[in-house]
Structure formats: structure tokens, C-alpha cells
Amino acid sequence: MKSIRNKSVIVTGGTKGIGKGIAGVFAELGARVCVLGRNEPDGAATVKALQGRGSTAIFCRGDVKEQGDMEEVMATVAAEFGGVDILCANAGIFPTVKLEEMSESAWDDVFATNLKGMLFSIKAALPQLKKSAAGRIVLTSSITGPLTGYPGWSHYGATKAGMLGFMRTAALELARFKITINAVLPGNVLTEGVSDLGQAYIKTMAAAIPLKRLGTVQEIGYAVAFLASEEAGFITGQTLVVDGGQTLPESLQALDSE
Ligand code: NAP
């Protein structure tokens, strides 16, 4: 993935978790990286760590739910880095609410961040991506929704499946600009957000994964970097599951058989 060197990359939700891992992989590959999020101390710490390893990185404060924020960030990055080649639309939230307790505001909050936020970041980046010789959009969807379900995540799963529905039409509309759009579908990855779900959740999940561990944020970052590379230039509108085999077993027996 030598083609990533010197590319200008924006990672939404890059201040922690999977986004921080994605930003780290791009920085390692020689890209110039903008980490986007709302939390300034987290953003500053992430950028400091990347710069400490000799990378070009900046933090831009922005809320993906605000179209104006996204337009401002794209303008800043275009001015700092001379354009935008790669957008990683990764910011997302996953609060748990059972169907019977689901309020309109709980539903709307998840949709506003995970789906509308994805749209606003893509719309704002498009003028810059169109100018790139190899514009790329990579979405962070999930196995939850497109492939699996989990109690408490009906709204979340709907947004993550919705991202893929959006992607398939976007791929057609963006092809004329030579922009590709693809999605990674992470399984369970050890992040700050997942740590907040508790040790019992993490232990149960690790047991349900054939590789018997959660993924690392870097492992998601490498999959994203591949889809963003020029080497992946003929792939668009596709999904890449990165889940340690979690979605494979037909039964518990299949999972534990020697
Ligand atoms: P996380 O540790 O909670 O981090 C979430 C990131 O999103 C933070 O950087 C946060 O930044 C940012 N964010 C949230 N709302 C935002 C907003 N309105 N505007 C801008 N940034 C916002 O979560 P994660 O586990 O890394 O998840 C990242 C993505 O991966 C999500 O889309 C999630 O659905 C997906 N995913 C995660 C897993 C997993 O196992 N971890 C599995 C499948 C899919 P600020 O706090 O600075 O705003």
C-alpha cells in the first residue's frame, strides 16, 4: 500500500477507538492525517502521539451531526494539506436500548450521528475528493445490522445496515468522478467504547469468536487502508468483514469443534 504515502486523509471519530487506530495506520504509511472529533483533549493527545512518531497530523474539532462543522473542517484540511484524497467516515455511537424502552429521541440520536453524520461528512468532502486523482471513501459499518443482531441495538443495527444501502447508490453516483466508496464491517474490537460495555460483555464476545479474542483497532485500520489505496482502485460498493470469524459458526458446536 505504498500509494497511501503523502495522501491527505480525514478520519471522523479519530480521537479514540477504531478511528484512532485507522489514523495511526495511515500515519504509519506516510499519509497526512486529520483527526476529527468533538473532544479536544482526546484529539490533542492522539495528534501528539502521531506527531511524536514523525507523522504529519492535525486535530480538527467538529461534530458530524453539524453540516457547517463538516464544511469548516474540510476547508481547513484543504488549506493545510492542499486537498482531501481519503475520507474515513468512522464516527459512530452505540448506546443500548431495548425495543420496548426505545424513545423517539434515543432512535433519532443514533440516526443523527451514524447516518446523517456520515452523509454530512461525505457531502462536505466531495468537492475536494472530486479534485483528487484517486478519491476514496471508506465507511465503518459493523457486523451488527448487516449480518447479525444483538439485544439493545435495533436502532444501531438499522443505521449500520443503512450505511450499506446508502453506499451502493453512492458508488454508482460517484463512479463518474473516479471516487470509490466501500465499507469495513468490524466484529468486536477492543476500544474505549467497547470497554464501557463491561468485562462480562468482552469475555462473552471473545468466547463467541473463533480466533478467541477481540480485534485490535490497528487490524481495522489495515483493512481501511487497503480499501483506500490505489491498489484497491477497481473495488467499489463492497464490504469487507473483519471479525475474527465471528459470523461463521452455524452453532455453538461448530464454534468449539476440534
Ligand atoms: P468509541 O471508542 O466510542 O469512539 C467513537 C469515536 O467517534 C470517538 O472518536 C468520538 O469522538 C467519535 N464521535 C462520536 N460521535 C461523534 C460526533 N457526533 N461527531 C464527531 N465525532 C464523534 O467507538 P469505537 O468502538 O471506536 O467505534 C467507532 C466506529 O466503529 C463506530 O462507527 C462504531 O459503530 C464502529 N464499530 C465499532 C465496533 C467495536 O467493536 N468497537 C464494532 C463494529 C463497528 P469524540 O468523542 O471526540 O467526539
With CA atoms as reference, report the closest residue to 59 among 14, 8, 5, 118. 14
Q: Do residues 184 and 138 touch, judged by C-beta distance below 8 A? A: yes
Residue 207 lies in a domain: no
For the chain, how many structural domains are there in total?
Answer: 1
| pLDDT at residue 257, as a whole number | 75
Sheet hosting strand 180-186, strand order edge to edge = 56-61, 32-37, 8-12, 86-89, 136-140, 180-186, 239-242
In a domain, residue 141? The reply is: yes
* Enclosing domain of residue 103: 2-191+216-243
The answer to whether the CB of 196 is under 6 A from ligand 1 is no
Has 150 been annotated as catalytic? no
CATH assignment at residue 6: 3.40.50.720
Ligand 1 pocket residue status of 28, Cβ below 6 Å: no
pTM score: 0.97
Q: Would you write out the chain's pLDDT as a tens digit for each of its 258 residues?
A: 899 999 999 999 999 999 999 999 999 999 999 999 999 999 999 999 999 998 999 999 999 999 999 999 999 999 999 999 999 999 999 999 999 999 999 999 999 999 999 999 999 999 999 999 999 999 999 999 999 999 999 999 999 999 999 999 999 999 999 999 999 999 999 998 888 889 999 999 999 999 999 999 999 999 999 999 999 999 999 999 999 999 999 998 999 876
Task: Tell me, using a 6 A CB cutoff, whether residue 163 lines ligand 1.
Answer: no
Q: What is the pLDDT of residue 10?
A: 98
Question: Is residue 185 one of the residues assigned to a domain?
Answer: yes
Residue 226 counted as domain residue? yes
In a domain, 203, yes or no: no
176 lies in some domain: yes
Closest residue CA from atom 9 of ligand 1: 13
Beta strands per DSSP E along the chain: 8-12, 32-37, 56-61, 86-89, 136-140, 180-186, 239-242
The rounded Å distance from CA 20 to ligand 1 centre is 9
Task: Judge whether 253 lies within some domain.
Answer: no
Answer yes or no: is 258 within a domain: no
